[in-house]
Structure 1
């Protein structure tokens, strides 16, 4: 696809806008990170509101959680109460990812295997000869 004059102009203007806004953005980032003088006051206010936990403690806790999950037999937490053959759960519901058409097909297959259980099966339409 050819590069139009309009797209070149827009790209140029976006670059100029980035140059113009860069100092403001940097100041905002510094304040958010708490590296600016104004930011230090904000961080001290945050300590009053929230509990500040050092990164080392969080890492150790995450490692301990990881070890706990590794002790399992390596299987994911899935619906253990879902039938693998029919894909129905304990409430008779199909999974959310299954389309209505697929669910209908599975139900029809299940009903034919059961023999209808007292209901008359529908005859397929077609030429009767």
Structure 2
């Protein structure tokens, strides 16, 4: 949608604002990483606040954890007792994601198959 004059103007002005604020934003980022002083981030200040761990060490730990994990067969944990045709579970309930209208429609189809004839449609009898 977004093709009205107002939205075009808003987009244009947002782009102008981004251009104007870009240098300030870059300066703030550099200051946050303290890159403007030395060219490298100052880790001594960060070590007081949090523990600094090298990326290689973390990657090795993650690889070890991934190797230790059990191998899945690729299937999701779903209701094993759900009928694929009617979508009913063992208690006769439809899935939670299904709307009432869909459930009613499926129930109607199921009933017509059982009885062999469908419900008569209401209308004018000629």
Which TM bucket (shorter chain)?
0.5 to 0.7
Q: Closer, same or farther in 2 for the Cα pair 1:92/1:17, shift >3 Å?
A: farther
Q: Which moved more, 1:93-102 or 1:83-92?
A: 93-102
Post-superposition Cα deviations, 1:58-96, rounded to whole Å, max 9, x if no partner, equal: 322212325x22xx3x54432211111100122322223
What residue in structure 2 maps to residue 86 of structure 1? 86
Listed as ranges, the gaps of 5+ residues in structure 1 are: 28-33, 47-53, 116-120
**Alignment gaps of 5+ in structure 2:** 35-40
Matched, 1:124 2:121: yes
After TM superposition, the runs of 4+ consecutive aligned structure 1 residues lying more than 4 A away are: 1-5
RMSD between superposed Cα atoms in Å: 3.4
Name the CA shift for 1:114/1:35 in 2 (closer, same or farther; >3 Å): farther
- Confirm or deny: 8 A CA contact 2:81 2:90 kept in the other structure: yes
Alignment of 1:20-39 (within 5 A): 20-27=27-34, 36-39=43-46
Instruction: Please report the TM-score for the alignment, with normalisation by the length of structure 1.
Output: 0.58
- Find the aligned partners of 2:15 and 2:63 in 1 and give their Cα distance: 47
| Matched residues, number | 106
